[in-house]
Structure formats: structure tokens, C-alpha cells
Amino acid sequence: MKAGDLLERFQAHDWRALARAITIVENDGQEKPLVMRAAYRDAGKDCMVVGLTGAGGAGKSTLVDCLISAYREEGATVGVLAVDPSSPYTGGALLGDRLRMGRHSGDPGVFIRSFASRGELGGISQGAKDALYLYKAFGFDVILLESLGAGQGETEIRNFTDVTAVVLAPGNGDDIQLAKAGIQEIADIFVLNKMDRPGAGSLHLQLSAMLDLLPAERRPMLVRTAASKGRGIEELLSAIESAYARSEGTRGARERARIEDEIFSGALSRWKEAVKGQVARLADRVSAGELTPQEAAALLGGQIRLGEPFGGGADEEER
């Protein structure tokens, strides 16, 4: 399949073109820049990205399974991206697994892939990021991003979602810590899963008490579910819908800020290398008592000179 054909078929919602594009991007194929430029261009489509984060054992995958069924019943197409090394989808393999959840296997409206997380605490790898933008460009109605949260790692995932749900369950050790982290990072929804299990009542009380301390406009919704029995899913769907509606005004600006941040951070590592010698000389001068680190930083900060304005295309860079 030629790159031009691939893009055409991708835009025509050919699922094999999506799978092929993911493979190209994963393998760092020659067509990757072409594919990813198109993905970033087309990613602005109206597509809801819902993040589900939580400790292992909270039942995230069962919840995702329920959400897939519910959205499919409404006729929506669903892309699932699992960034969780313990995710059952992977069957133990961490990377590059094309997989299907049992009861959605064969459903052409559902596409599921899993990716290794970067580091153990749920950071999102470049591969997963790329796949997410391919999903967005492909035009799924709903994207479910499942990640392992363990009290702090879910921050990064948060940057990529429109709605974030933190999933807790009774008897899961890390949960209160996770709830605190979720509150700090303003999860949109807390899902208390396994609501039929012992300890669910007291966890619910603890959570409610924590949430009551927040001002109403910043307070996450609290939904109780028992995913393995399909209970509470309707309530969860409404909560997601209402959180998505609330995000309306800020979505564009957040996505723009994310891209700008990625460009700046990416440039940083090159700069760090470029100024290494200067930094070392300045540190010598700090040791010699000539400068404070702040004064040295001001000197270095004043040294940047930008070259000519950027040319018209990326192609010249590639030669």
C-alpha cells in the first residue's frame, strides 16, 4: 500500500488503513512523518477522549468493556487505547499487540490496542501518544484511554483526555492516596466500582467526606458501579456526558497548549546539549564567587539568539 493510498483509505475510514498506520508508526517506518502530519492535522475532529485511571484490581477493564457495549448500542464507534502494563488485553505481551476483548471480537465498530506505559507509573509513551492522534484523526466517536494510576502517574494522561475518571474499589490498598491525587489534579469523575463488595460503604463515606471539602464548582462527580454486573453504567455515561459538555469551552485551548508545550519541551533537550559548555563555565564562576546561580542564569538566559525565521516546509529538513 503506497503512502498516498494509505492516507486516502485512512480518511475513508478503512480500519485496515488504521491498523497499517499504527504499524508504520510503531516501526518507525519511512512513511511515519507523512502519516503523523496528517494525523495531527485531522485530530481536531469532534471526538470525545475519556480517560479511565486507577490502581490494578479496581476493575478498569471490566468498566471499559461495559462502556464499549453502551456506546456501541448508541451506534457510536469506539477506539480503546490501554496504557497499562498489567492490562488483561495484552495477555502479558507489552507492545504491539493487536487485540480484541472477548465479547467485542469481530465488531467492526470497536478497535482496541494496548501500549506499554513509560515507566511504572502510567506515563504515556511516544508510541501511545502517536496512536492516540491516529485514533483522533480516524474519527472515532469515543476514545477510551485506560491507564494505570498509582497516586501520581496519572497526571500526564490527564493532558490527553477531555474527561478523566478515577476508578476506585473497596479493599484496593492505594485507593485513598489515589483519590487524593485525583482531587489534586481535579479528576472529573470518581467511580467507586465493586459497590456490592464489603467495604464499599465506608469507602463511599470517606470519598464523600473528601469531596465535600471542595467548592462545588471544582467537585468531581461520584458514581457507584458494579461493572461485573453491569450496574451503574447508565449513571457513569451521564456523568461522562456532563463532564464532556463542561469541557466544551476549554478543549481547543488545552489541546493547543499541549502541542505548544510538546514543541518547547522537545527543543529543550537540544538546547541543553548546545549550552552544556557555557553552563559548565558559568558554574565555575559560581564556585569562584563571581556570580550567584541566579546571576549566571540571567547571563545564560540573555544569550539566546534565534536564527532566521523558519522556512516554509519540513521537507527541506529531511534532506
Where on the chain is the footprint of its own copies (CB under 8 A)? 33, 36-38, 40-42, 44, 151-152, 177, 256, 259-260, 262-272, 274-275, 278-283, 286-307, 310, 313-314, 317
Bridging pattern class, strands 163-168 and 142-148: unpaired
Could you tell me the smallest distance in angstroms from the CB atom of residue 29 to its own copies?
14
Cell of residue 83, nine digits:
496504557
- What is the Cα–Cα distance from 110 to 69, expressed in whole angstroms? 9
Q: Which residue, among 149, 192, 188, has the nearest Cα to 165 in the 3D structure?
A: 188
Cell of residue 185, nine digits:
489534579
Could you tell me the smallest distance in angstroms from the CB atom of residue 113 to its own copies?
20
Amino acid at 113: R
Of the pair 32, 100, the CB lying nearest its own copies is at: 32
Q: For residue 96, what is the enclosing H or E element?
A: none
Query: To 5 degrees, how large is the angle CA 55–CA 117–CA 39?
Result: 120
Could you tell me the smallest distance in angstroms from the CB atom of residue 172 to its own copies?
14
Of the pair 73, 317, the CB lying nearest its own copies is at: 317
Of the pair 99, 291, the CB lying nearest its own copies is at: 291
Of the pair 42, 235, the CB lying nearest its own copies is at: 42
Could you tell me the smallest distance in angstroms from the CB atom of residue 223 to its own copies?
25
Of the pair 7, 50, the CB lying nearest its own copies is at: 7
- What is the Cα–Cα distance from 110 to 241, expressed in whole angstroms? 20
Could you tell me the smallest distance in angstroms from the CB atom of residue 110 to its own copies?
27
